[in-house]
Amino acid sequence: MAQVQRTAAAVADEPAALAERFYHHLFQLAPGVRDMFPADMTAQNDRLAGALFDAVRALVDDPERRAPRMEAHLHRLGADHAHRYAVRPEHYPFVGHALVRAVQDVSGDWSASTSSAWLWVYEWMSSHMMSAAHDVR
């Protein structure tokens, strides 16, 4: 988690850049999902960065107390994404790859172990979101 915390701190001052790089990579990896998003991505960029940094804080700052609340939030978010936006389980791997690439682009501080640490964070987030999406179906 120290690697995630360090790289999250490095990109925290550039949330818009992180979100822009994330969506750039996502739309390259899965062009079919572009229609799921608004033309003006400003608000979406803010939501993405906020959700990501909230999740990292939940894992780093007092995880025994904060992680369960974040997991419940991710569960609700996953249900919402499945119901309102038709997000399917097969979309999630693209999101994970886009996230890792975006953090790498913006942080400039990267190694194989940093990539693995971020993938672990994403797997934690997505597992809770997908479990809720399964409940919606």
* CATH number of the domain residue 62 falls in: 1.10.490.10
Residue 80 lies in a domain: yes
Q: Around Cβ 122, how many Cβ atoms within 10 Å?
A: 21
Residue 63 lies in a domain: yes
Residue 77 lies in a domain: yes
Q: Which residue has the higher pLDDT, 121 or 134?
A: 121
Q: To 10 degrees, what angle do helices 15-29 and 92-107 make? A: 140
> Span 108-134, mean pLDDT?
90
Residue 37 lies in a domain: no
Total domain count, the chain = 1
**Residue linked to tokens 């990539």:** 115
Q: Which domain holds residue 130?
A: 2-32+42-136
Pull the structure tokens for residue 134. Answer: 């399964």
pLDDT value at residue 48: 94
All residues at 6 or more sequence positions from 49 whose CB lies less than 8 Å from its CB, including other chains: 15, 16, 18, 19
Q: What is the pLDDT of residues 41-88, one digit of tens each?
A: 999 999 999 999 999 999 988 889 999 999 999 999 999 999 999 999
pLDDT value at residue 34: 96
Residue 59 lies in a domain: yes
> Span 102-129, mean pLDDT?
93
pLDDT value at residue 1: 83
Assess whether pLDDT exceeds 80 at residue 137: no
Q: What is the DSSP string of 12-57?
A: HT-HHHHHHHHHHHHHHH-GGGGGGS-S--HHHHHHHHHHHHHHHH
Percent of the chain at pLDDT above 90?
84
- H or E stretch at 126: helix 112-136
